[in-house]
Chains A and B, each alone.
Chain A
Amino acid sequence: MAESTHCIVNIASPLRSYTGGAAKVNARGATVAEVLADLEQRSKGMRFRIIDEQDRIRPHICLFVGTRRVHSLAEPVVANDELHVICALSGG
């Protein structure tokens, strides 16, 4: 297993009810899955709003590590990376 690293997670506004209003939170993990699991410990329920029960990123959610689009939760995260959780434009 890769070493767990510290990163910053940028939280889109629809999800800030889970972070006490914070737009940036700290989390640890060597992959996106681990970072989200770490975040879930403090923001109960948030993961399921962005990742479905089959571990797929929901249709109107985009994840980026830095500027790299995430297509798999196995995507690696290295020290001081920023994970962006973005709510893609959808509907009116």
Chain B
Amino acid sequence: MASILWISTRKGAFALRASANGRTYRLVGPEFLGHIIHHIVQDPRDRHVLLMAAKTGHLGPTVFRSVDRGRTWREASQPPAFPKAAEGETPRAVERVFWLTPGHASEPNAWYAGTAPAGLFASTDGGDHWQSVAGFNDHPMRPKWAAGLRTPDGEFLHSILVDPRDRKHLYFAISVGGVFESTDGGKDWAPLNEGCAADFLPDPNVPYGHDPHCVVMHPLRPDRLYQQNHCGIYRIDRPDRRWIRIGKAMPQSIGDVGFPIVLHAEDPDTAWVLPMDGTTVWPRTSIDGKPAIYITRNAGKSWQRLTKGLPERAAWFTVLRQAMCADARNPGGLYFGTTSGEVWASANEGNAWRRIAQHLPEIYAVTHAI
């Protein structure tokens, strides 16, 4: 089956199409050259369908849709937008559509989008029309949960997760705000941050206000979530409400700061992270200029360093939260893109790496499609 990596960059969309044996990749694009592309996601319920979150430096945010595997794109008729503010209300406008998540398998045309400033939006027609999810966007606690402690590119709502067993069971994360859960299809939400550090706050023991960088759910064990946070790597096994800091098992000289965390398609105990330098002024580059992937095969009890094929020195990679992904093969393929425009691939679960693209614009997201 053909394998495609969709590359979302600050200057457009690209695709890397794998040859039949997966040994070579052909770069296709750019599509929407000059657009800021935050996410391109294939619909697992209908693989012809892809959604793309886009804006430009001048123009407002939008969503593009493809129903032919990315050959042609058409703009959504009604992109995500907050309701018109009533008299006395603070007006809110979507600055970026940052995250896209397909809905539950039982709802073929359902999608969710996360925006900056933090907003949750839903579509029931395959991403053509979007509605504000009032259960969060108008929640009385929202001004406190999403208090405007924005990252340099905005206050992102991301990592929207749908429980495959229950379409009404949802999670998302806000940078900066924390992880939140709904059990009623998004009508109400509650923070889920116990056990997570928030070292940057005056009181680190707060119920919300954390900075989750990336939260993932294992599809075969949906009670298990992993989280790469600004302040460490965590795991939770629901119905527990307390995250466990599995990043404590990382080497002290490396620490447990980073952006993405990626799961193995078939093994809920296996996860990969790509540590970034979180010392002093937070360079967020590969530590000491030596990029390394770390893998756990026991749900975070221990980690192993994987570097074969990666530069041994003088490589100051930054890999953002959406810029690392796995495919569904076994052994799994693993991919990441850097802010310096390189794409790296491993066909054997991170044991050996090779560069498959370079000289691209700043990479925001790498997603796998078939």
Contact = CB atoms under 8 A, between A and B. Distances in A.
Interface residues of A, number: 21
B1 interface: no
A14 interface: yes
Contacts of A14: 34, 56, 58-59
Interface in A77-92: 87-88, 90-91
A54 B58 contact: no
Contact of B59 (A15, A44, A54): A15
Contacts of B60: 48-52, 58
A42 interface: no
B58 A48 contact: no
Interface residues of B, number: 20
B139 interface: no
Given A54-B84, A54-B91, A60 B62 contact: no
Given A14-B59, A54-B93, A60-B57, A48 B77 contact: no
A54 to B, nearest CB: 4
A48 B62 contact: yes
Contacts of A61: 58-59
B56 A54 contact: no
B75 interface: yes
Contact of B93 (A45, A49, A52): A52
B82 A49 contact: no
B81 interface: yes
B63 to A, nearest CB: 10
B97 to A, nearest CB: 12
B94 interface: yes
A88 to B, nearest CB: 7
Contacts, number: 55
B309 interface: no
A64 B6 CA distance: 39
Nearest to A18: B75
B301 interface: no
A58 B77 CA distance: 19
A71 interface: no
B32 to A, nearest CB: 10
B75 A45 contact: yes
Contacts of A87: 58-59
B251 interface: no
B92 interface: yes
B58 A88 contact: yes
B58 A53 contact: no
A44 B128 CA distance: 13
Given A44-B77, A90-B57, A49 B62 contact: yes
Contacts of B82: 53-54
Nearest to A92: B57
B363 to A, nearest CB: 17
Most chain A CB inside 10 Å of its own CB: which residue of B77, B93, B94: B93
Interface string A1-30: 000000000001011000000000000000
A69 interface: no
Contacts of A44: 75, 77
A56 B56 CA distance: 17
A56 B59 contact: no
B204 interface: no
A44 B58 CA distance: 18
Nearest to B78: A48
Interface string A31-74: 00000000000001100111111111010110000000000000
B20 interface: no
A53 B84 contact: yes
Contacts of B94: 52-53
Given A45-B75, A48-B81, A91-B57, A54 B62 contact: no
Nearest to B89: A54
Q: Top 9 A-B pairs ranked by shortest CB distance?
A: A87-B58, A52-B93, A53-B81, A54-B91, A49-B59, A60-B58, A91-B57, A49-B60, A90-B57
Given A54-B91, A60-B58, 10 more contacts: A49-B59, A50-B59, A52-B60, A52-B93, A53-B81, A54-B92, A58-B59, A60-B57, A61-B58, A88-B58
